[in-house]
Amino acid sequence: MSEAARNTQGRVTVLHHLNDDLLMSYAAGTLSEGWSIGVATHLSFCPGCRQRLSEFESIGGHFLECEEVEGDETAGWEEIQKRLDVPSSNITAIAVGSDPLFPQPLFSYVEAAGGLRWRSLGSGASQMKVPTSDPSTVVRLLKIPAGKPVPEHSHSGRELTLVLAGSFGDSVSVFNRGDVELADDDLTHQPKATPEGDCICLAITEAPLRFTSRIVRFLQPFLGI
């Protein structure tokens, strides 16, 4: 299966997808910024999940259409009419920065952070925190050397890991570029980067991380972990 998933002539074939829960809250607009970065980045890779997203959005369209309204509520036409300029014809031609490794929207976040800056986590792995305005999540990039274990994160709640380069896996499954691994509290495993090369992932976790030690928990904001 991992062979099939490997890039064939540069194309990414995603095998591990977003769940309904994430896609539906993204469609409804209730998903916070941090999770949305992971969802939108996966969507860049995955036509299948974009199709599912549009199905969920059509539920929103359905509710909008079905909304019963009373009385004459069409006021405002006179005002809006004055603002109807000729719509722009080149609205789609917005130039974006690009990077072979990071699709949008992730690229713009990395750029806003001043580019890639890895910080060692010991054990060979390194990370970069991706700044967002969402206090409910921690968004990071992880770089795991070939064959090394993915550094253990908290597993205190939901976690989304999206592979950007290389791959990681355990005895059960392998995750390649574009693949998403979703985990929650009860998952205990420690996958490894596959031996072929370093693995770079986007990891989103709930914040703040729960540490068993009260002292570490107290120091957490100062340690930046």
Partner 1 sequence: MKTLTPLQSVSVDLAETGHVVELPSVLDGKSHLSADRRKSLEPREINSLMAAVAEHQDIDAYQLLYNYFVPKVRAYMSKIGSDRAFADEMAQEAMLRVWRKARLFDPGKGQASTWIYTIARNVRIDALRRGPRPTFDQNDPAFIPEDEPAADVALERQQDADRLRVAMASLKPDEIKTLRLSFFEDMAHPAIAAALGIPIGTVKSRIRNACLKLRAILKDA
State whether residue 205 is helix, strand or coil: strand
Candidate residues 2, 59, 185, 187; the one interacting with partner 1 per rule CB under 8 A: 59
Q: Is 222 in the site for partner 1 (CB under 8 A)?
A: no
Q: Is 198 in the site for partner 1 (CB under 8 A)?
A: no
Site for partner 1 in 137-176 (CB under 8 A): none
Candidate residues 2, 8, 63, 195; the one interacting with partner 1 per rule CB under 8 A: 63
Q: Say if residues 124 and 145 touch (Cβ distance below 8 Å).
A: yes
Q: How far is CA 69 from the centre of its chain?
A: 37
State which residue, 46 or 138, has the beta carbon closest to partner 1.
Answer: 46
Applying CB under 8 A, the site for partner 1 has a residue count of: 72
Q: Say if residues 99 and 40 touch (Cβ distance below 8 Å).
A: no
Site for partner 1 in 64-103 (CB under 8 A): 64-65, 67, 69, 72-74, 76-77, 79-89, 91-96, 98-103
Site for partner 1 in 19-38 (CB under 8 A): 20-21, 24-25, 27-30, 32-33, 36-37
Q: Is 11 in the site for partner 1 (CB under 8 A)?
A: yes
Give φ, ψ of 182 to 5 degrees. -110, 135
For the chain, first and last CA: distance in Å? 35
State whether residue 38 is helix, strand or coil: helix
Q: How far is CA 157 from the centre of its chain?
A: 16
Which DSSP string do the residues of 74-89 spell out, in sequence order?
Answer: -TTHHHHHTT--PPPS
Q: Is 115 in the site for partner 1 (CB under 8 A)?
A: no
State which residue, 21 or 196, has the beta carbon closest to partner 1.
Answer: 21
State the nearest-atom distance from the C-beta of 88 to partner 1, in Å: 7
